[in-house]
Structure 1
Amino acid sequence: MRINLASVFVDDQDKALRFYTDVLGFVKKADVPLGDHSWLTVVSPEQPDGTELLLEPDRHPAARAYVVALAADGIPATSFAVDDVHAEYERLRALGVRFTQAPLAMGPVTTAVLDDTCGNLLQIAQYH
């Protein structure tokens, strides 16, 4: 058994696609129109056949409440592995990304938390 799909709820799929591709560096994998929205996924360019991240509309009342509650409590919706959290932090800050947590070493991992502009906080993590 493998994980092939994970998702984050977003308030605007077009805006999310721009952020996740142009800023974070993911690549669009699927874009299947489904009425007002799409089945819209991105993947790591390092693993184009790897786990897909679904940029899922947050239109269900429970989804929106979940996203708002997590962000209000400072809890990241998901985490992405990076080779060098300090370098990625500086790269993303130079692109105007807002961080709610600068790189912080916590034992075997260093993390930073950023705002994806679509309602979520995201964690980037470097494992030592």
Structure 2
Amino acid sequence: MPEACQEPLDPSITPIDAPPGDVRFGVISVPAGWVPVANELHRSIVDLVGPYEVIQGGQKHFGLRWLTTFDDHPGVRELIKAAHEKTENICGVCGAPRAAEQHNPPRCPAHRFGTTPHVCARPPRRAP
């Protein structure tokens, strides 16, 4: 989709190794409009705790869901909460401010829910 945010997910974002056939863990699928927020969150977590792995990344409850191997760290929890709150108010397609009506994920007036397909960014998978 040409008008979707074209910024790629940071290739240094590392998903956790999930058991074969497990579709819940090690999955990162971020709405395209939230990629800049996810990349900023990733850099902030690395600055705080160093290398980490993502257990699950995507959208839940109208905002960014980012489960990591450092979720018990208070600073990481605060960073994730701030990113979730930021994404509650921006379009999941292009990153513009969301429309007055709330959709999951949020949409701007140009990408109203039902008129624009859901577009996601996924990091390259690590070699087995």
TM-score by length of 2: 0.27
TM-score by length of 1: 0.27
